[in-house]
């Protein structure tokens, strides 16, 4: 397995893979925990304290136990948070004064996958340099009882593992501090049988919402299945059938959310970013190559600049920090409010959008009436995992990209990129009319399939469509923020 930017295991959002198969095994989690503890000790933290959380998938408990054992074996004290959203781990690192945080989750992926995300002592995801340093320590492992080939740690040098008491409520209080009073607003929640299945209803009920909650019975295997932010049609149906005023759909680890208005229209990360930017009077926001051109031009009419970076919340975060900005996000619903949190948070995002609607006196559906969205199509072509980057950079694909951009000019955009989480190459096309979009997308997918076939892949006859339709009707690709 090869990650990104020279990393062997880490992608754009931690390590991810099929649970039980390298690298997502108990043995690897043990080694990664031990290597992480040694990394912290090498940087002057003799007794690291690490908070560890997980989502509801069947393999998460196994990986938590293994990672915690690795951490403790090298002298770290571990606080097991149990099932919590990813942003809760980031928040509790700072709230509890921990040295680092670990989240066991594969986010939007199916239950059979899993992943490991690492956070530093500020609640930020690790940068490339730190991930490379930890990977270097992983190469030292010899598989013996001493794990790292280092002198054993015994007696008081062995770390501890204890459980976090839910009633301590640090993260709950943090969310409530940034929440509006909803005064009986009829809200639907799709918690995706995931990490937010208990906490999200608790938060929204405490701020006065009349709740209708679906997909809140996790069994270890049903996380993200036909539900949540990757399948917003579930919350759309409930909003329309129950005549709710808004709906929120989380992904498996609740670091992102999509919404639905009272008319059943999808509220993407583009919409949420735009609404909050206008209400907060931001001078500029950071978005990605996937963000809709219509949204960008609407923000310009409000005097708000939109800066684009490549897909991935780490790149949004980096640009926000570089330019001293506070608000950025992705079409997938992964939105960063750096004045309120250190990482994307689906519950915080939904609460901030509803707060913006309350403070502006403009209903969510009325906001959507204002924001133009160009027709956009997104498709994914299967490739071998090892060939993703090569296929996306293929000479024939590059020619097709150039021709597409020449054809669209200033009236549209096109993007081709390898998926960060799956063996796919993704293509996106947007323009002012659907016919043009579909013509250009078909040409691009044909070029990608030809390149994939040349790399030894046996692609399907047509693109496996990850998300098809205008951005107001269907979800953006699930890996727009995670890899």
The pLDDT of residue 155 is 95
- Interval 405-426 mean pLDDT: 88
The pLDDT of residue 150 is 72
Residue 152 banded pLDDT, cuts 50, 70, 90: confident
Report the distance separating Cα 381 and Cα 391, nearest Å. Answer: 10
Q: Residue 4: how many CB atoms within 10 A of its CB? A: 16
Shared domain check, 143 and 158: yes
| Structural domain harbouring 352 | 181-370
The CA dihedral of 121, 224, 203, 277, to the nearest 10 degrees, is 70
- Of 370, 393, 426, the domain-final residue: 370
Within a domain: 136: yes
Is residue 124 over pLDDT 50? yes
Instruction: Name which of 250, 276, 279, 244 is nearest 263 in CA terms.
Output: 244
- DSSP helix/strand/coil, 411: helix
Report the distance separating Cα 292 and Cα 409, nearest Å. Answer: 15
Within a domain: 424: yes
Is residue 440 over pLDDT 70? yes
Lowest mean pLDDT among 19-23, 348-352, 401-405, 468-472: 468-472
Shared domain check, 133 and 33: yes
Shared domain check, 343 and 263: yes
**CATH number of the domain enclosing 306:** 3.40.120.10
Which of 107, 229, 289, 470 is catalytic? The answer is: 107
* Diameter over CA atoms, the chain: 70
Within a domain: 218: yes
Shared domain check, 450 and 328: no
The pLDDT of residue 139 is 77
Of the chain, the percentage scoring pLDDT greater than 70 comes to 90
Instruction: Name which of 317, 358, 365, 360 is nearest 337 in CA terms.
Output: 317
pTM of the prediction?
0.87
Please tell me the total number of residues recorded for the chain in this structure: 483
- Interval 10-32 mean pLDDT: 93
Within a domain: 116: yes
Partners of residue 186 on adjacent β-strands: 210
Is residue 5 over pLDDT 90? no
Within a domain: 354: yes
Q: How far apart are the two ends of the chain, measured CA to CA in Å?
A: 13
The pLDDT of residue 467 is 39
Instruction: Name which of 323, 322, 455, 450 is nearest 387 in CA terms.
Output: 455
Residue 480 banded pLDDT, cuts 50, 70, 90: very low
Is residue 234 over pLDDT 80? yes
Shared domain check, 291 and 392: no
Is residue 475 over pLDDT 60? no
Per-residue pLDDT reduced to its tens digit, 244-280 = 999 999 999 999 999 999 999 999 999 999 999 999 9
**CATH number of the domain enclosing 441:** 3.30.310.50
Is residue 180 over pLDDT 70? yes
Shared domain check, 191 and 340: yes
Shared domain check, 311 and 274: yes
Shared domain check, 418 and 388: yes
Shared domain check, 87 and 200: no
Whether residue 332 lies in the annotated active site? no
Instruction: Name which of 453, 386, 381 is nearest 417 in CA terms.
Output: 381
- Of 370, 404, 439, the domain-final residue: 370
Shared domain check, 422 and 332: no
The pLDDT of residue 478 is 53
The pLDDT of residue 473 is 43
- Of 146, 168, 190, the domain-final residue: 168
Instruction: Name which of 1, 31, 27 is nearest 16 in CA terms.
Output: 1
Is residue 170 over pLDDT 60? yes
DSSP classification of residue 11: B
Of the chain, the percentage scoring pLDDT greater than 90 comes to 80
CA distances from 241 to 233, 235, 237, 244, 263 (A): 12, 10, 6, 8, 11
Within a domain: 239: yes
Domain total of the chain: 3
CB 383 within 8 A of CB 455: yes
Is residue 184 over pLDDT 70? yes
The pLDDT of residue 204 is 98
Shared domain check, 120 and 259: no
Report the distance separating Cα 270 and Cα 2, nearest Å. Answer: 31
Shared domain check, 164 and 205: no
* Phi/psi at 90 (5° precision): -60, -45
Pairing between β-strand 186-190 and β-strand 113-119 as defined by DSSP bridges: unpaired
Instruction: Name which of 109, 98, 96, 133 is nearest 9 in CA terms.
Output: 133
Within a domain: 141: yes
Is residue 469 over pLDDT 50? no
Instruction: Name which of 254, 259, 229 is nearest 244 in CA terms.
Output: 259
Within a domain: 175: no
């Amino acid at each position: 397995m090869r990650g990104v930017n020279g990393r062997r295991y880490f992608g754009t959002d931690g390590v991810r893979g099929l649970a039980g198969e390298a690298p997502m095994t108990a043995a690897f989690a043990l080694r990664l925990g031990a290597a992480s503890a040694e990394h912290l000790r090498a940087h002057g933290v003799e007794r690291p304290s690490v908070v560890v959380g997980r989502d509801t998938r069947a393999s998460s408990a196994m990986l938590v136990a293994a990672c915690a054992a690795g951490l403790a074996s090298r002298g770290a004290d571990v606080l097991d948070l149990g099932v919590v959203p990813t942003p809760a781990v980031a928040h509790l690192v700072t709230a509890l004064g921990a040295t680092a945080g670990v989240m066991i989750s594969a986010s939007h992926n199916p239950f059979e996958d899993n992943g490991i995300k690492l956070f530093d002592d500020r609640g930020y995801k690790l940068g490339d340099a730190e991930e490379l340093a930890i990977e270097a320590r992983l190469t030292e492992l010899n598989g013996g009882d001493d794990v790292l080939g280092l002198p054993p740690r015994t007696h008081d040098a062995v770390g501890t593992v204890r459980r976090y008491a839910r009633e301590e409520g640090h993260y709950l209080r943090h969310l409530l501090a940034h929440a509006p009073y909803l005064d009986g607003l009829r809200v639907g929640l799709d918690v995706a049988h995931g990490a937010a299945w208990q906490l999200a209803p608790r938060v929204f009920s405490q701020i006065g919402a009349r709740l209708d909650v679906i997909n809140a019975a996790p069994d270890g295997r049903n996380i993200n299945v036909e539900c949540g932010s990757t399948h917003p049609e579930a919350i759309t149906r409930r909003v329309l059938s129950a005549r709710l005023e808004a709906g929120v759909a989380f992904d498996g680890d609740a670091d992102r959310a999509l919404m639905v208005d009272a008319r059943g229209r999808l509220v993407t990360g583009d919409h949420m970013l735009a609404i909050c930017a206008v209400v907060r009077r931001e001078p500029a926001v950071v978005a990605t190559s996937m963000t809709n051109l219509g949204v960008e031009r609407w923000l310009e009419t409000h005097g708000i600049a939109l800066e684009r970076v490549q897909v991935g919340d780490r790149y949004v975060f980096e640009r926000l920090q570089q330019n001293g900005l506070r608000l950025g996000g992705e079409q997938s619903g992964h939105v960063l409010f750096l004045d309120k949190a250190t990482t994307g948070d689906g519950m915080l995002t939904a609460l901030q959008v509803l707060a913006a609607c309350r403070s502006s006196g403009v209903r969510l559906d009325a906001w959507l009436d204002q924001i133009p969205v160009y027709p956009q199509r997104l498709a994914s072509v299967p490739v071998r995992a090892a060939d993703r980057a090569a296929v996306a950079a293929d000479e024939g694909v590059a020619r097709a990209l150039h021709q597409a951009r020449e054809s669209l000019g200033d009236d549209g955009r096109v993007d081709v990129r390898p998926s960060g989480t799956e063996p796919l190459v993704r293509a996106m096309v947007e323009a002012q009319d659907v016919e043009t979009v579909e013509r250009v997308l078909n040409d691009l997918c044909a070029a990608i399939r030809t390149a994939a076939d040349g790399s030894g892949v046996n692609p399907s006859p047509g693109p496996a469509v990850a998300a098809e339709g205008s951005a107001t009707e269907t979800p953006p690709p699930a890996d727009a923020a995670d890899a």
